[in-house]
Amino acid sequence: MADHDTVVTRFAPSPTGFLHIGGARTALFNWLYARGRGGKFQLRIEDTDRARSTPEATQAILDGLEWLGLDHDGPVISQFARHERHAEVAQEMLAAGHAYKCFATQEEIQAFRDAAKAEGRSTLFLSPWRDAAEADHPAGQPYVVRLKAPRDGETVIEDAVQGRVTVKNAQLDDMVLLRSDGTPTYMLAVVVDDHDMGVTHAIRGDDHLNNAARQAQIYHAMGWAEPVWAHIPLIHGPDGKKLSKRHGALGVMEYAQMGYPPAAMRNYLARLGWSHGDDELFTDAQATDWFDLSGIGKSPARLDMKKLENVAGWHIARMADDEIVSEVERFLALTQHEPLSQSQKDGLSDAMFCLKERAKSLPDLIEKAEFVLASRPIQPDEKAAKALDPVSRGILRELTAQLQNVSWTRETLETTLNAAADAHEVKFGKLAGPLRAALAGRSVTPSVFDMMLVIGRDETIARLTDAASRPE
């Protein structure tokens, strides 16, 4: 393994039409590792499968990374666009005797495997062309280019997460590097791309661990330095099974549409499979400072929506007010809702002190902000409307008169409203229901006093008047 001055990591997804939550976590780990060491984080799209690799599928990955706030260095690299370079390396290996032309047909390979199976031998294909002289090659016949892999000994992967992984070379076949049509295989393309991009740390899902030994053999054949390997466990559902659609959202943009802020998503994803002591909640700066491969566990992480909610609540409470307003605007655009007017943005900003402490997501915050986003006449929902009975409406009528001339401070408002409750021999809680219905049209809202202070005297009195005069 080489000694590297500048850390270079990469995220290399296949374009599947969305950025998978597991892929997002892999991208985040690579981004944190590079950013924490003054290194480079690069993006490569593994788009050699031309049927699936549409511009829209690639854009979906770029959108997911952009939303998550993971910026990359340099241009996006297309693996498909580099196929000539991949083939060139295969030709170099041929010339150096580290690869060979194999003329075996699919039928011959199948016959070999059938015979081996019948005799109880390994079915790994041993090509009769491995040591054939050029003079014996059939002219004009199609061939693949195979790696001349070592037949004895073992290939060792020193993995920063999994520890030492040893594979006996007898268990690996001479894998195909170039197909008979001259196109490179994925295994070759990955190694050539990583080498040419200067990748020093290959941080990826442990579903690639089986590929590492084969890819290491290409590095050895070319005399290239291997990267530091770090194979991270996959994410499982709450039931401990591999994450699938039945567990809920798989794409990172689905979480964006649920209204979790990107900062919260970065914090939550970082903790899926990585830890720093007992720290659960942290900023980007802390994550960048703390993140190290030694903190990644070997066991699969489990998705936990309750934990994500708690993380989101912590981040929302700590975000600057204008940042939350921007996130709300982005969320509304993403979910194709009407944009906020300037007065709604101003109102939301003014109300933030009584909204952000308890919100667990952006929709939660928007629901709590209904009192400042809605315009008159306020339409109470079914539950809130029940609180506006004739007695309550009578008390609201009295209150509108009392509130005309009091000083508009929290202390005075508390005194006035508590006095009204006492005069009617009810607890303040009994009065709070009708007030919430009148001011917000909801039964769950911020404090009545906070709402009155935010919307001001004139709007408060107008809403109370509307509610008091509602028809039966």
User: Hey, what are 126's tokens?
Assistant: 């041993």
Strands 77-78 and 40-45 turn out to be: parallel
Q: Which of 245, 298, 306, 360 is catalytic?
A: 245
CA angle 39, 229, 211 (to 5 degrees): 130
Please give the single-letter amino acid code of residue 38: G
Angle of the 390-402 helix axis to the 448-468 helix axis, nearest 10: 110
Dihedral of the alpha carbons of 267, 269, 270, 271, in degrees to the nearest 10: 90
User: Quick check: 433 and 389 in contact, CB under 8 A?
Assistant: no
Q: State phi, psi for 178 to the nearest 5 degrees.
A: -125, 135
CA–CA distance, 208 with 97 (Å, rounded to integer): 27
Upper half-sphere CA count for residue 329 (Cβ side, 13 Å): 14
Rounded to whole angstroms, what are the CA distances from 196 to 46, 79, 212, 300, 352?
A: 15, 12, 17, 31, 49
Q: Is 241 annotated as a binding residue?
A: no
CA–CA distance, 9 with 26 (Å, rounded to integer): 11
Rounded to whole angstroms, what are the CA distances from 303 to 11, 205, 232, 242, 272?
A: 21, 16, 15, 10, 8
C-alpha dihedral sign at 107, 109, 110, 116: positive
CA–CA distance, 182 with 143 (Å, rounded to integer): 9
For 235, the 3-state DSSP assignment is: strand
Active site (annotated) includes residue 368: no
Neighbouring residues of 407: CB distance < 8 A, sequence distance ≥ 6? none
The reply to whether omega before 377 is within 30° of 0 (cis) is yes
Rounded to whole angstroms, what are the CA distances from 462 to 174, 447, 455?
A: 81, 19, 11
User: Hey, what are 106's tokens?
Assistant: 């699919």
Closest CA to 458 of 396, 404, 377: 404
Q: Quick one: residue 345, left, alpha or beta (phi over 0 = left, psi -120 to 50 = alpha)?
A: alpha
For 431, the 3-state DSSP assignment is: helix
Detail the residues annotated as belonging to a binding site: 245
> What residues are labeled active site?
245
Detail the residues annotated as belonging to a binding site for ATP: 245
